[in-house]
Structure 1
């Protein structure tokens, strides 16, 4: 996972002033099975591993499947350290992996916490494997540091180098229909967009254009820094054009070309994603929100946690996964996006940020109204999900003009209510397409 060129060059203690990572048994008398895997700063800190682990056990429900991470804050003598822990069992004995961080930098930062929970889960799985197979537990430490460098890059970039508002000169050097397609897909994938171009200035221009259509806290977790590969956690980010011959490729029927994409990084994203290649003027989306979750889970368990698999077996599994993981290359353009770009272009320079905020708020309000209408219909009809006719009526009420805008609103609504997918797209994988075609 770690990419040296991408990794944060600052010492980890400069990113997070305090951290420990530990794994151990719940049995206090079993002290020889409680291990401090990592800590900094090393000097002048007295750490009672059992104290931390007992705190983790007292605040974490048992989860044999390692799917739940629970967080809480230490107080008083432990100076409000933030903790995330994941508990698991081996032969009826309970263990916990816990990570403890300085609380001040992470409070009220849900997107950073999301990454910390994911990291905790990964390291709990790794620790469990080492314990089961009697592999020295301290072999986990270099793996842990490798993951930390990747997560550290995201943390330091988002905390210290967020995407700053920048006045763009219009018209931009992109065709209007391409801009509209980029904006449509950007909103259809919950504002999570990866941009690449051979010309860095074009990547940055696209990043700043799309940043007009972000929520304030999403701007904090966006960057126009050019990374080598996509990093989890960002909303808008820019990367170098993929060049490796091992990069998975997908076919574009419309353009009759092979498109190199960093699919192995994109499949690990927790949110849906848009991939914009400015050089080829292509816009590609993940298959669907639920498909992204499903294939992400498959990748993690088949590849990341395949500690016993050799190189050939890993390649075989990768081939199998990517033969089924089909990004959407037929991205539509919404009338809403075309009009929004026109309004933005016509606005005075000092008003463009305000116009972008207003247009983004417009989609947010439609999404919240959609949630209310869907819940109201389900309560009144005792139905399990909304059918296409009802969805069409909801679209009319909230003034949606086409199926692409409806998909934008539906996707954004899931930022506020994750059950919206089940309520509006249940039963079949292609339900969303059928519903959108009813508009």
Structure 2
């Protein structure tokens, strides 16, 4: 069922000479209530000039709920200094709280949309483009919001894992969990895709199932945890750089799984590509070409599953086929328990000025959690970042 929570987008500025000015507004269902935008931008911009000089030199996201208007607002603030005059801007993505009861779980993707539009607005100012041109960026995001909030897996279908699928499913699940359960399956084979997606759905939390889909769509919907798409003409580098988060990308036709080798470098590359996409044609092509060429080397094919996952799925395939779904759900509970135990152990070993784990610490954790080796440690540490992002800073690259 289609769910359209999109209210509109509005852009305003503030400087000491002119005060707050509403520059543009794009509303899908008629103009907002009188005074509503003025109230919103007073909350966002009235005190920005009292902050530190560099407070808005980069993008800053702010979340506001205006209950009187049933608005959930994701705002991105930034500043531009020209001729020694600083102007502050607020780009707001406005949604109807009545249509998104689970909106608090959607902050990341909505922030990504708001940041994207703010980067487009900033480019318009610095390159003297008319703000009306922003509408061509707003319309796709409107549709993406509809697709995102209309997607849901309400019931996970049963499935069977055959011995011949064991290695492939182990590879996919290892990458799915290591990229914090964000997976895109590309295929035109409905049966095989549905089976794999049904399997992976058992390794999602309830609040992730409501932002996932088992249907095969023509286009990728940003923000979904699990989704299936038909064969894409878009280059795989563009697919990866369109997501603010590292992903697992499965090509069923080739039975290949791709991800990024350096998750900590993904977000900076995503931001660079987003900003470059709004530059003038020649500059844009040069910068995007350079960013894509550099990022392409980070996309790798997964060829070895996590040992823990291989062992777990081997046990599943040895049980009656009617039990496979139930066993996967039970094993996911075990995976979550181990993940939280790992987080606690890392916290215990990094305190009082100790910022990162030593090789000895890692060895102790491997022994305590009965991992087969460092590969299992890296696998669970990657998944743990879904709940505790700071873990990535506690495991230096040289020790991974």
State the TM-score, normalizing by the size of structure 1: 0.79
- Residue in 1 aligned with 2:195? 205
CA distance in 1, matches of 2:146, 2:168: 34
Give the Å deviation of 1:327.
Answer: 1.2
Give the Å deviation of 1:372.
Answer: 1.6
Of residues 74, 84, 89, the one that matches 2:79 is 89
- Residue in 2 aligned with 1:319? 289
Partner SS state of residue 60, structure 2: coil
- Unmatched tracts of structure 1, length 5 or more: 1-7, 249-261
Give the Å deviation of 1:398.
Answer: 1.4
Write out aligned runs for 1:267-306 (5 A): 267-302=241-276, 304-306=277-279
CA distance in 2, matches of 1:217, 1:281: 29
**2:193 is aligned with 1:219:** no
**Contact 2:10 / 2:24 at 8 angstroms: preserved in 1?**
yes
Moved more, 51-60 or 364-373: 51-60
**Contact 2:175 / 2:302 at 8 angstroms: preserved in 1?**
no
- Residue in 1 aligned with 2:112? 118
Write out aligned runs for 1:45-64 (5 A): 45-57=33-45, 63-64=55-56
Distance 1:15 1:41, change over 3 A: same
Number of equivalences: 390
**2:377 is aligned with 1:397:** no
Distance 1:177 1:113, change over 3 A: same
Write out aligned runs for 1:11-26 (5 A): 15-16=4-5, 19-26=7-14
Structural RMSD (CA): 2.9
CA distance in 2, matches of 1:103, 1:44: 15
- Residue in 2 aligned with 1:257? none
Of residues 130, 147, 150, the one that matches 1:136 is 130
Partner SS state of residue 69, structure 1: strand
**Contact 2:119 / 2:278 at 8 angstroms: preserved in 1?**
yes
**Contact 1:183 / 1:337 at 8 angstroms: preserved in 2?**
yes
Moved more, 130-139 or 288-297: 130-139
**Contact 1:189 / 1:273 at 8 angstroms: preserved in 2?**
yes
Distance 1:183 1:54, change over 3 A: same
Distance 1:50 1:364, change over 3 A: same
CA distance in 1, matches of 2:395, 2:18: 50
Of residues 356, 371, 376, the one that matches 2:343 is 371
Give the Å deviation of 1:352.
Answer: 4.3
CA distance in 2, matches of 1:395, 1:215: 25
**Contact 1:334 / 1:404 at 8 angstroms: preserved in 2?**
yes
**Contact 1:167 / 1:349 at 8 angstroms: preserved in 2?**
no
Write out aligned runs for 1:212-361 (5 A): 212-242=202-232, 244=233, 247-248=234-235, 262-302=236-276, 304-306=277-279, 308-310=280-282, 313-325=283-295, 326-346=298-318, 352-361=324-333
CA distance in 2, matches of 1:222, 1:89: 36
- Unmatched tracts of structure 2, length 5 or more: none
CA distance in 2, matches of 1:348, 1:28: 72
Partner SS state of residue 164, structure 1: coil
- Residue in 1 aligned with 2:181? 191
CA distance in 1, matches of 2:12, 2:375: 50
**Contact 2:57 / 2:79 at 8 angstroms: preserved in 1?**
no
CA distance in 2, matches of 1:418, 1:32: 36
CA distance in 2, matches of 1:348, 1:339: 17
**Contact 1:86 / 1:124 at 8 angstroms: preserved in 2?**
yes
State the TM-score, normalizing by the size of structure 2: 0.87
Partner SS state of residue 244, structure 2: coil
- Residue in 2 aligned with 1:254? none
CA distance in 2, matches of 1:142, 1:409: 41
Distance 1:44 1:106, change over 3 A: closer
**Contact 2:159 / 2:325 at 8 angstroms: preserved in 1?**
no
Moved more, 139-148 or 56-65: 56-65
**Contact 1:69 / 1:86 at 8 angstroms: preserved in 2?**
yes
Distance 1:353 1:202, change over 3 A: closer
CA distance in 2, matches of 1:144, 1:413: 34
1:105-144 alpha-carbon deviations (Å, 9 max, x no partner): 4454444221111111122222233234443323322322
Write out aligned runs for 1:69-88 (5 A): 69-75=61-67, 78-88=68-78
Partner SS state of residue 26, structure 1: strand
Distance 1:270 1:422, change over 3 A: same
Partner SS state of residue 180, structure 1: helix
**Contact 2:4 / 2:145 at 8 angstroms: preserved in 1?**
no
Give the Å deviation of 1:48.
Answer: 4.2
Give the Å deviation of 1:41.
Answer: 2.0
Distance 1:53 1:154, change over 3 A: same
